Structures are given as structure tokens and as C-alpha cells.
Structure 1
Amino acid sequence: MSTPESFGTRLRRVMDERGPLCVGIDPHAALLDSWGLPDTVDGLERFSRTVVEALGERVAVFKPQSAFFERFGSRGIAVLEKSVEQARAAGALVVMDAKRGDIGSTMAAYAETFLRKDSPLFSDALTVSPYLGYGSLKPAVDLARESGAGLFVLALTSNPEGAEVQHAVRVDGRSVGATMLAHLAAENAGAEPMGSFGAVVGATLGDLSSYDLDINGPLLAPGIGAQGATPADLPRVFGSVVRNVVPNVSRGVLRHGPDVAGLRDAAQRFADEVRTAVAAA
């Protein structure tokens, strides 16, 4: 049985081909309303289908937020399954934003839901929370390696509340966030062109030069657009590893729907701005 191509390899290729941009699929009630859609499963389905059909062959990565589908129960999950299938069929990678985190068999079950090849929700990568201890993620790490998938571990998030945990200093003098980055660097050691185990690091955080972001893996960077960060900020925040950054834009693109041309123009504009910023770094 052949070893599957790693997430890091696939991500590097699609980012180089399509531009380093991740578009969120966040069908919350207010956004559905702004599109003139009902806050129902039908509205959810029309929203998700429009986003994927408009951008599936153009952007590198989609990041569906699982919670906005889960709130509709089994019918919402069915829409999520279809959206993942359509996005991957169009050549985009899917990062499932579910932020799962638990221990033992429960963590293993979460991993099987999103990282097992024959799962209807199989995604190229999954966001996970390490705050039951990094070692609690081992079932997800192991299955991701087996499946050629990846993880994005919450390390230095863009929400202000995150600082009370992530910036807390351990007895060894290293912050919790820095500890997570060190674990990921160990996971990715020796990987080419980059590893499959990434960190979530907010683009709104300003100067992060005190942190070693060189984990030889991708850095998922929320905060571009509505949260205030711009593509031009990326070199200042991420420094020498800016080429491994996967900037995430949600409302900045989605607010231009349901017009397909508007969605495409917005996504292209952000992708071009990111390319320019990275090239100038």
C-alpha cells in the first residue's frame, strides 16, 4: 500500500499554484440574511453551494466552520459533507474548523470523524485544541500521518481572551503558546517541502519576534479583513516564515455574495495582495 502524499506537500503546491489564501465558509444567521437567504437548511445549502461553485477552482483552501452547520442537526451535517466533497473535487483543500480537543478514545473518535479516509467528513486538515495537554492530540497526529492529512493546533489565536492561557508562562520560563510551537516543530522535523502539522497564529497580533514561528509547517492566520489585519501586515507579524502563512479571510470575501463575480473579485484581490506582500518580504 502506497504512502499518501502529505498534507504539507499538497498545501505547498496548491498555494504556489492558486495563491496563498484560505476562504472561510461561515454561514451564520446574519450573513445568510445579508445574502437574502433564510436561516434554514435550504439557506445553508444555497449559501455553501454558491461559495464553493464560485471559488472552488480558484482558491487554495476552504475553511468551513463546523458549528454553523451543526446547529441544523443531521441535515446541516449533510450539507457540510456535500460542501467538503464538492470543494475537494474542485481541487481546493479543506481545513475543517472544528477545534476538537479531548483525551483517549474520545479524541480518537474525533480524529476518525474528520481524518479517516473513508469518513464522509474527511478533510485535508483539522483545527484542534491542545489545552488538555499536547499529548492528548496523539490519536489525531497518528491518524493524520496515516491518512496524509494535517492538523492546525491553536497556539497564538487572534481572540483577546486567548492570551490568558496562551501567554501564560510555565515553570520553565516558556509560555504555553511557545510550548505548542515547539511541539509542532518537533512533529515537522525533516519534512520537505514543509510539514503537515501547523499552528493557528492570529494575523492581528503584531510583533511576534519573541516567538519561534519557524516550525517547518504552515501557519493558519485568521484576522485578515473584518478583524482588522491586512495582507500588508503579514511580513511584520510573521517575518522570515511568511511564505508558510495561510491567511484566512471570511467576511472580507463572503460579504460580496451572493454575486458570484463579487466573490471571485474579492478573493482574487486578497490573493494578489498576499502574493505582493510575501514577494516583498
Structure 2
Amino acid sequence: MRFGSKLRVAMEERGHVCAGIDPHASLLAKWGLPDSVAGLREFSKIALEGLAGAAAIKPQSAFYERFGSAGWAVLEDLLRDARSAGVLTILDVKRGDIGSTMAGYAAAFLPEGAPLEADAITIAPYMGASAYDATAALAAKHGKGLFSLALTSNPEGKRLQRSRSGSGVPVAAQVMEWTNEANAKHCVDARLGSFGVVIGATVKDMTEVLGNSFAVFNGPILAPGFGAQGADAEDIRKRFAGHFPQVLASSSRGLLEAGPSVSALQAALAKSVAEVDVPLGV
């Protein structure tokens, strides 16, 4: 079963919210945990228990990598435990490199039985579309997904993502075009492609910037920025109008600040899902 199909089912059954797991130092402190591997492990265990009802979880690799090999081991355990619990994982690693190096990164995350096996990973596709052909093929072979950074909400990204080629097409739109092509090649019969894009939920002019590449897009859309970063449920439904079945609104801080109580995390997730999945105008 392809990632896109798994994600579609998960969103239909669990709602359109992705729970980010970002164990940065300030959150560990807020939860009364030490800024150590032991604190990281306890945080991850509680977060998974409290947020396992989400359509997917999105661990931020950087907050594990900062602890070195011991942090990687905690991340491996988290991914394994989520897989055992039937929770989809989108590992936020934002890898990007030339083909052969990218193939090495992909081999660490995408094949079944890989050390850090996840259902999907985020990638930074700025080495050129062809650099990711082998990665897309590997992901498709193992039924996994990719989310390419397209139009993010951080101000620093605007200059690159919105710059235009000689044909006048913004870089972000070109990323969507490549992703559309990957879905057409590897997921031709799927209702939802396995290859998606990252578009910030706080970006107000996404339809104008992305144009037709957005209008015809048939992959999943990971939309960070929901909750603590400023986008609310109405923003999600309005800005992604016509694409809502494909949208996975990602919230990290907005959910995690409810911890360390498992029941409070569960309640925060349920509230977010109820808000996002209410039909527009209700």
C-alpha cells in the first residue's frame, strides 16, 4: 500500500492534523524534564502516547541529532514504536544533495528495515529535480513518501522560493511541477499521490504564486504553521480551498504545550482536529 493511500485513509479516519514532535530544550524544561538523553526519551514516549491519534506524527530530527548517537537511538525507538502502534511517521530531516549522496540519505530512511525507517521524509529540492529521481524511485519501491519544500512561511525563504526562471515560473511552482511529474510516474492510479509538498499555512498568496501547478496538484500538502505560529483552522480551509482533502495541517508547539499530561495532549489534539475538520462556513 502506497504512502499516499495510507495517508488518505488516516486523514479520513483521524482528521487532517499532523502532530509535530519537537523536543527542544525549552519544551523539555516546561515538561519538567532534563535537557538530556533521558529527558529526550521520556518526552518522546509521552508525546507518542498522547498524540498517537493524529493522522501522522512529524518528529523533527534536529532535536534528536543534537544529542549525537544517543539521540539518534531515541529517534529510532520513536519511529519503531510509532510503526508498531500503526501511526504514520513523517520524519522532518529536510535532506537535499546531489543524486548519489541523496541516495545515501534516502537509504537510511525509506527502505523497509532501514535504521531510521519512516513512512515519509521532508526534502529540500534545490539541487535540481533530476537529483531526486533515484530517491523518488526508491520511495515508490518501498511505498514511502516525500514532502518537498515548496513555499514555506519563513521570511528568509521568499527571495529564493519566489524568484522566477527565464520562463517566468517561480521556483516554488517548479518544485510543485516536479512533484506532480513524480506522482504521475510512480502513482498514476492513486487517488492521492505519495509525493507531496510543504506549503506554509500562513502564506496568504499561495494560489497566486503557485498558479496552475497548485490548481492541478494531486499529492498531499503538509501545511506547517497551524496553531502557535499564527494560522487558524479557518485559514487552513480558506487558503487551501479546493484542496482540503489533501491537506495535513501540522501543529507542534500548539499541541506540545499541553504536555506532559497524556490526557491533556489527547484533548489538545482532539480540539485541533475538531476545529480543522469543520466544513467552511459552519
| TM-score, normalised with respect to structure 1 | 0.95
Q: Deviations over 1:220-245 (max 9, x none)?
A: 00000111001111122112112100
Change (3 A) 1:53 1:98: same
Q: Deviations over 1:184-227 (max 9, x none)?
A: 11222334211000000000001322223232100000000111
Counterpart residue number, 2:217:
215
Change (3 A) 1:280 1:148: farther
Q: Deviations over 1:17-71 (max 9, x none)?
A: 1111100010000110111110000000000000111222x11100000010011
Q: Is the 8 A contact 2:18 2:250 kept in 1?
A: yes
SS at match of 2:241: helix
Structure 1 residue 90: Cα displacement: 1.3
C-alpha distance in 2 between matches for 1:186 and 1:50: 39
Q: Is 1:175 aligned to 2:177, yes or no?
A: no
Q: Is the 8 A contact 2:148 2:196 kept in 1?
A: yes
SS at match of 2:104: helix
Q: 1:254 aligns with which of 253, 256, 281?
A: 256
Counterpart residue number, 1:28:
24
Counterpart residue number, 1:226:
228
C-alpha distance in 1 between matches for 2:248 and 2:271: 15
C-alpha distance in 2 between matches for 1:280 and 1:108: 45
Counterpart residue number, 1:206:
204
Counterpart residue number, 2:74:
79
Q: Is 1:269 aligned to 2:271, yes or no?
A: yes
Structure 1 residue 182: Cα displacement: 1.0
Where do residues 8-87 of structure 1 align in structure 2 (5 Å cutoff)? 8-56=4-52, 58-87=53-82
SS at match of 1:276: coil
Counterpart residue number, 2:133:
138
Q: Is the 8 A contact 1:188 1:215 kept in 2?
A: no
Q: Is the 8 A contact 1:27 1:68 kept in 2?
A: yes
Task: Tell me the amino acid that sits aligned with residue 207 of structure 2.
Answer: S
Between stretches 100-109 and 207-216, larger displacement belongs to 207-216
Q: CA RMSD of the aligned region, Å?
A: 1.2
Unaligned runs of 5+ in 1: none
Unaligned runs of 5+ in 2: none
Structure 1 residue 158: Cα displacement: 1.4
Task: Tell me the amino acid that sits aligned with residue 92 of structure 1.
Answer: V
| TM-score, normalised with respect to structure 2 | 0.95
C-alpha distance in 2 between matches for 1:83 and 1:247: 21
C-alpha distance in 2 between matches for 1:87 and 1:270: 20
- Percent pairwise identity: 47
